[in-house]
A and B are shown apart, each in its own frame.
Chain A
Amino acid sequence: MASLNMLIFVCISYVALLFIVAFVADRLAAKGRSTWLRSPIIYTLSLSIYCTAWTFYGAVGYAARSGLEFITIYLGPTLVMIGWWWGLRKLVRIGRSQRITSIADLVSSRYGKSNLLAIFVTILAVIGVTPYIALQLQSITLSFSIFSEADPSGANYSETATVFWVAAGLAVFAVLFGTRNLDANERHHGVVTAIALEAVVKLFALLAVGVFVVWGLSGGVTETMARIDASEIGQWQMKSGRWTAITFLAAAAFICLPRMFQVMVVENDDERHLRTAAWAFPLYLLMMSLFVVPIAVVGLDLLPAGSNPDMFVLTVPLSQGRDGLAMLAFLGGFSSATSMVIVAAMALSTMVSNHIVMPIWLSYRGGGASVSGDVRSVVLLSRRVSIAVIMGLGYFYFRLSGGGAALASIGLIAFAGIAQILPALLGGIFWRGATKVGALAGLSVGFALWVYTLLLPGVGAGLVSDAVIQHGPFGIGWLRPQALFGITGLDPLVHSVMWSMALNASAFTLVSLFGFPSPIERLQGAQFVNVFDHSSGPRGWSGSVAQVEDLMIMSQRILGAAEANALFQRQAVLQGGRGHLPDPTPTFLQTLERELSGSVGAATAHAMVGQIVGGSSVSVQDLMAVADESAQLLEYSSQLEAKSTELARTARQLREANEKLTQISLQKDSFLSQVSHELRTPMTSIRAFSEILRDTSGLAEDEQSRYATIILDEAMRLTRLLDDLLDLSVLESGQVTLNLREGVLVDVLDHAVSTVVAGADVPLIVRRRRAGEKVALKSDLDRLAQVFINLIANAQKYCDAERPELTITAHHIGGQLVVDMIDNGSGIPADVQAMVFEKFARVNAEKAGGAGLGLAICREIMHRLGGDITYLTGQTGGAFRVTMPLTLPQSTELAAQ
């Protein structure tokens, strides 16, 4: 007989072997020489933590009690795996592209990084998984006790101490290999390799016991089949509700269990491994369940009635004296339990520390995660403590429940609890309309119903009284936990699964339909649902070695070549001066990021460095921060643009003003010289003739009179010139007083025409349409007449036609009175048209009679009267247009008063 000490020795040696394997695998992975560690086979074997001690030992017991129903536990995951193209592929791709670290993280990321959801899922997972861990501890303890009973010298065996040491040992293993480093992607090569080895051991152990039972004890396949048919489970018996419900639960739990999510999604190195696992893992499950029924039947046959069927895997070989085989079977069960506990503790600790401990710690510190080194150590510490706490919870749960039958039923109850995550998860990756509030509603409803209909009646014996279960709370019959809404006669598990999943999914769907997601939820939703459009194809997580050359190129683009070279060289010297490129240490990357953020903004710099160093995709938050920064830059640049346009406009205005000033200065100069010239000509003749009159004696009477007349004429011309100048300056300075009267246009024109035509040498023919001129107006009629006189006189003076004619027409255009005066001469040459209204501008120097101020005065008068005078181009002769308002504008009237 195998002694207990021998068993403990084997056990410790086995654990030591696992330690070595995990250690070597971690070292290999760190050196990057771990290609076989990343093979699809290792991935498939790591998935086998689905087969816990509950399935290793429990399946046989299950078969002994309920026939083939146990197989549904394996059929559910099989269906999920062979449908990988449909669901798991998407889940794994999302997990990789979003850097998901746990199922709580996945749900929270999908629904806009909601930490509330993450906490909810974490708590659900802890409640669901803790009893499950207790179940594993129980199975190890039970197997120990089997050996101690069989051990002739086994006196000093203590169940409590065994459980304690097993739990402590598992916690140490999980802490050592699960929290050695803080990998951004949460992958643990050591642990994964160790559980792959354990997967082989447990499969081999179960197959060995099966082969022994079929060929060693029963004598072959045919005989075994006959024996099965003859046994008490030899006839097909099936509760169809349970068959369907458990298959569904197993499928749901396979996806939602934190430890399965950990190995399937988080530890996945390469999406392509799925296509191998898709057939290899169902094959593994098939082999695990192949010999379950034969072992159960033979156990029922050989062992005395009342033996625990859960331990047939151990007790059948022991009863036949096969100690070695029993030892192997023990190691198989031990492997199943340990691998599950280690991974579950790791997955849960990640969730607890990321979603519960860290947020609390960060908000307690208040400063945010600004000091990264600090945070790393805190995260690691919180994970280690979380693992210890979770193992402690499992241990205390085991102690409190006292083991036994109450624990055996916990497996399916845990499955049903964990499956409540399924609607939020599936909705999240397939339906863009799923919202955070919907997910919360679904989870709450499902969780509450699960607790009320399954957990409390099933486990919490004493928490719910029998009266409540029989008659409902407060005697309300339709609220009975196991017969909701009066539907009785259902299996409690089927009842609970049906109601909780149906109401969970309905609440989730309805609340999502009527809610409206926040922008970040919608963004994340699009990223999750359309993950195949956004992410690149299957590529391993590897290649995360920082590429300093890439960083260098990027920095050169942003900082400029010289600055970037200087920065990199400075850093290389600081690091010890090996070569001219620095190593990508965290300090260097931080410095670089800070330098870059000065140029492109903190978020952009972080995203750029992360892109190159991490080789991972940029999160939506990063993108939004980048967008914010870009928007700020855009706004700034548009402000700059507006300012520069304004500056350009001001400069143009200044330039124009300057030109105008120059022109005015020139005008002033020319005006002065013109005025002096105009004054000097008459003054010269006045002086000359006055001197003649003074100095020449004996002038004839008529000569004296002629000279005096010349002097008088010139003096009058001077006076007229000075009058004109005075008039112009008064008009220009705006000090003119207008004498407003009401009158008719035709009278004004009559006066003007008669003034000019009277006494002319060459008669000017004036053509008028008097009918159109009968327009009443209110204006300074004298000034207006002055304008008309000037224009008509100009026509008389300058019209070069043989029979000079002037056509005067008056009409209304847009509320304005327009008077056109067009003669039949050759008109004003185009090059001087713009100048005719300037002072002293004379078109034809020979014919010059006046000082060239007439038109300038006309224009000033018309401006004062609220109108204008322009030269009309495109007419046959010289043409002027006088426009004026029918009534004076308000301002002019005021000025006139």
Chain B
Amino acid sequence: MSDDRSSPLVFLEHQSYRRNRLADAARLLPVIGAAVLSVPLLWPGADSATVLAGEAEAVRMSKAILYIFGTWAGLIALSVVFGMAARRWGQSDGPQRSGQG
């Protein structure tokens, strides 16, 4: 991979293309995180109308803990994967490139 910062190429090599898409995914990660961590907002709580009317049962705390910690761990795992990938680029072609999207 040439280190030509002055004239960005229109089409990158396969490796660089993959890298840029991985960076896109990394940018998406907090959005995904915010989305999955907003799911509990939809759960019927102990004081919600459906529960008070007896139509539904409030989500149990153990389930809530499992869900939140599970998604949390999942996000961390994805972050680990991206961190490893970032480290591999750093070793393959020096630190200069990490500034590029």
Chain A residues packing against B (C-beta within 8 Å):
67-68, 71, 75, 78-83, 85-86, 93, 225-226, 228-229, 231, 233-238, 240, 243-244, 247, 272, 275-276, 278-279, 282-283, 286, 290, 293, 532-533, 535-539
Contacts and interface: CB of A to CB of B under 8 A. Distances in A.
A231 B41 CA distance: 21
Given A68-B40, A79-B37, 4 more contacts: A75-B72, A275-B87, A279-B83, A293-B61
Contacts of A533: 5, 99
A537 B43 contact: no
Residue among B43, B59, B75, B79 with the highest chain A CB neighbour number at 10 A: B79
Given A235-B58, A238-B45, A293 B29 contact: no
A532 B46 contact: no
A266 B30 CA distance: 24
Contact of B79 (A82, A86, A535): A82
Contacts of A286: 69, 72-73, 76
A565 B63 CA distance: 77
A632 B84 CA distance: 52
Query: Is chain B's interface secondary structure helix, strand, loop, or mixed overall?
Result: helix
Residue among A86, A225, A236 with the highest chain B CB neighbour number at 10 A: A236
Interface in B45-62: 45-47, 58-62
Given A235-B45, A244-B38, A278-B79, A83 B30 contact: yes
A536 B41 CA distance: 43
Interface in B64-81: 64-65, 68-69, 72-73, 75-80
Contact of B95 (A81, A290, A539): A539
Contact of B97 (A80, A247, A537): A537
Nearest to B40: A238
Given A71-B68, A282-B72, A82 B29 contact: yes
Query: Is chain A's interface secondary structure helix, strand, loop, or mixed overall?
Result: helix
Contacts of A85: 23, 26-27, 82, 86
A735 B99 CA distance: 87
Contacts, number: 129
A237 B58 contact: yes
A579 to B, nearest CB: 35
> How large, as a class, is the contact surface on chain B?
35 or more
Nearest to A240: B41
A228 B61 contact: yes
A229 B83 contact: no
Contacts of B33: 78-79, 82-83
Residue among B33, B59, B97 with the highest chain A CB neighbour number at 10 A: B33
Nearest to A89: B98
Nearest to A272: B90
16 contacts: A67-B61, A68-B40, A78-B72, A85-B82, A225-B65, A226-B62, A231-B61, A235-B45, A247-B34, A272-B90, A275-B82, A278-B79, A282-B76, A293-B61, A535-B99, A537-B96
Nearest to A224: B62
A538 B95 CA distance: 6
Contacts of A282: 72, 75-76, 79
Contacts of A80: 30
A438 B39 CA distance: 36
Contact of A279 (B47, B61, B62, B80): B80
B100 interface: yes
